Amino acid sequence: GENVEQHPSTLSVQEGDSAVIKCTYSDSASNYFPWYKQELGKGPQLIIDIRSNVGEKKDQRIAVTLNKTAKHFSLHITETQPEDSAVYFCASNSGNTPLVFGKGTRLSVIA
């Protein structure tokens, strides 16, 4: 089955700097790659996603890139703010299969 590895497990950045979180996946049939943000006491919230027919997608300060050949995708957050502090999860699936999540990255933005 699919296996998703996520790095780093923790990340601290200064406010205003950029943050990058990387994930690799194992199933070459995977074609959907979402990123979720989970704040304390809340469920995961979808922040951006990308499909396998696209190499990059951007939404304001957040962007996701996908390299299908290398089977990895990354989340980029620019101009980080304290409210970006949370745990971020990558996930992947193919067709109608359940999402497989990474183990998460705890991002701390230091003011």
Partner 1 sequence: DAGVTQSPTHLIKTRGQQVTLRCSPKSGHDTVSWYQQALGQGPQFIFQYYEEEERQRGNFPDRFSGHQFPNYSSELNVNALLLGDSALYLCASSPRLAAYNEQFFGPGTRLTVL
Nearer of residues 65 and 93 to partner 1, judged by Cβ: 93
Q: Does 75 bind partner 1 (CB under 8 A)?
A: no
Q: Does 96 bind partner 1 (CB under 8 A)?
A: yes
**Among residue numbers 7 through 66, which ones bind partner 1 (CB under 8 A)?**
32, 34, 36, 41-45, 49
Residue 89 contacts by C-beta under 8 Å, 6 or more apart in sequence?
Answer: 6, 35, 36, 38, 44, 101, 102, 103, 104, 105
**Strand pairing of 10-14 and 86-92?**
unpaired
Q: Which residues of the chain form contacts with partner 1 (CB under 8 A)?
A: 4, 6, 32, 34, 36, 41-45, 49, 89, 91, 93, 96-104
